[in-house]
Amino acid sequence: MRVFRHIERANFQWLLLAFIVAVAVAVAVANNGVSRYDYSAYTEVDPSQYLIDLPSSSQKRKRAVAIHVSDSGGNRLAGASVAVQQISRDFPFGSAISKTIIGNSKYQQRWFLDRFNAAVFENELKWYATEPEPGELNYTLADELLAFVHANQIVARGHNIFWEDPAYTPAWVRSLAAGELRSAVGTRIRSLLSRYRGDFVHWDVSNEMLHFDFYERRLGPNASAEFFRTAAAADPLAAVFMNEFNVVETCDDEKSTVDLYVARLKEMIAGGAVQLEGIGLEGHFSRPNLPLMRAILDKLATLNLPIWLTEVDVSKSFDQQTQAKYLEDVLREGFSHPGIDGIMLWTALHPDGTCYQMCLTGDDLRNLPAGEVVDRLLGEWETTETGAETTDERGTYSFHGFLGEYKVAVSYDGRSTETTLALSGGDETRHLNIQL
């Protein structure tokens, strides 16, 4: 008996262990086999994972619409023909532009406008560009780029007010004594933000402050906090952003882990009433690690601040096909994640393929592999087919569309009308009543 009891206890332990393993396997399977915190390296991605109709992301990118057509007496009209056309997108998706686009209207500007609704100036707002020598302010190029984005209703990010990396701080600024530096940063921020107040949707205030600390070293530990306060007060309609590399790109950089980023964001918000209104993730990728990227976005999203991918590209150490493949994976992951509020590519066109890491096209504006990916995704992320062409027997026409503006044309029995629909985010079906 004693022996039997031992065996039973041993069996029970094995059973318990087997049960635990089975539960773990079931949970893993239920999670689609992708563990949230799987830090393994890049693996091939199943594109169906990114179907934007999945419930979590569809709430942010798409919405159900019901158009009810009736006559002037309120009687619903079955069989009315309905044509729906998306004419703009809500989701900001764009690219860096540079002075190369100025005065190139028929060619590069048209190409840009056919694709994007958002832009960032690659270098033209940086301190070294606007004040190459002390006191010699020159906003010519920034003004010309701004005229282009304004004329075409493009949303533009302001990049950047200060850059903590001394390598990109003007030499004359680096050589100032602390008192002079204090007055120079004051002049810079006042000049820039009074000139462009209301023109940009974001300001990157202290660029890359997890990696560098030029201003903190010179002006004290609260230098950036002060910059944020000043910027938020000087241009209240623009959101002030932190902007950093190697947060979402890799887990190899100990200076910019997601926990350090979260800690810094919280510190900035808590300490001294700093308004901090957005999280910038540069997204200069080498080989992307998508489960890592998702886990990091999940974590940052808990802060409930806008999150943008601000400078997405893939290293030129890869061939163009590989760059394009990695770019596609990163863009799908970003667009599918409900925490992401906008995506900017770092692909300002420069002649002879001298773009920073990646050109979308050659000089002739014909797509390179990365440009093919962008055009394909732009096509996928727009509502083109809405199914039926007429209202059903209850006079209703319904579809599930990407957020943005639509033109809706309805006709019945020789009568017709046209209206626009602004489809903004929301969990409920958007109802639109049209009377003919």
Ligand X SMILES: *[C@@H]1O[C@H](CO)[C@@H](O)[C@H](O)[C@H]1NC(C)=O
Which residues are catalytically annotated?
208, 311
**Do residues 224 and 216 lie in contact, with contact meaning Cβ atoms separated by under 8 Å?**
yes
Q: CA dihedral in degrees (44, 48, 51, 56; nearest 10)?
A: -80
Measure the CA–CA gap between 104 and 256, rounded to whole angstroms.
39
Q: Which stretch binds ligand X (CB under 6 A): 138-146, 244-252, 326-334, 393-401?
A: 138-146
Q: Which stretch binds ligand X (CB under 6 A): 136-144, 364-372, 379-387, 419-427?
A: 136-144
The footprint of ligand X on residues 139-158 (CB under 6 A) is: 140-141
Q: How far is the CB of 271 from ligand X (least distance, A)?
A: 2
User: Which is closer to ligand X, CB of 236 or CB of 271?
Assistant: 271
The residues facing 4 across adjacent strands are none
Query: Would you count residue 322 as binding ligand X (CB under 6 A)?
Result: no
Q: How far is the CB of 266 from ligand X (least distance, A)?
A: 11
Query: Would you count residue 260 as binding ligand X (CB under 6 A)?
Result: no
**Do residues 64 and 400 lie in contact, with contact meaning Cβ atoms separated by under 8 Å?**
yes
C-beta neighbour count of 47 within 10 angstroms: 10
Strand 62-70 vs strand 430-435: parallel, antiparallel, or unpaired? parallel
Q: Which of these, 23, 62, 43, lies nearest to 383 by C-alpha position?
A: 62
Q: Which stretch binds ligand X (CB under 6 A): 41-49, 137-145, 187-195, 375-383?
A: 137-145
User: Which is closer to ligand X, CB of 49 or CB of 222?
Assistant: 222
Q: How far is the CB of 97 from ligand X (least distance, A)?
A: 15
Among 103, 236, 272, 351, binds ligand X (CB under 6 A): 272
Q: What is the DSSP string of 382-420?
A: S----S-SB--TTSEEEEEEESEEEEEEEEETTEEEEEE
Query: Would you count residue 271 as binding ligand X (CB under 6 A)?
Result: yes
**Do residues 247 and 296 lie in contact, with contact meaning Cβ atoms separated by under 8 Å?**
yes
- List the beta strands (DSSP E) in 282-323: 284-285, 307-314
The footprint of ligand X on residues 208-237 (CB under 6 A) is: 220, 222
Measure the CA–CA gap between 213 and 224, rounded to whole angstroms.
9
Q: How far is the CB of 220 from ligand X (least distance, A)?
A: 6
Among 138, 194, 384, 419, binds ligand X (CB under 6 A): 138
> Binding-site residue total for ligand X (CB under 6 A)?
7
Estimate the share of the chain in helix, then strand, then coil, as percent rounded to the nearest 5. Answer: 40, 25, 35
User: Which is closer to ligand X, CB of 91 or CB of 228?
Assistant: 228
Q: Which stretch binds ligand X (CB under 6 A): 36-44, 62-70, 134-142, 170-178?
A: 134-142
Q: How far is the CB of 137 from ligand X (least distance, A)?
A: 9
User: Which is closer to ligand X, CB of 79 or CB of 351?
Assistant: 351
Please give the structure tokens belonging to residue 132: 């190459």
Q: How far is the CB of 234 from ligand X (least distance, A)?
A: 19
Binding region for ligand X (CB under 6 A): 138, 140-141, 220, 222, 271-272
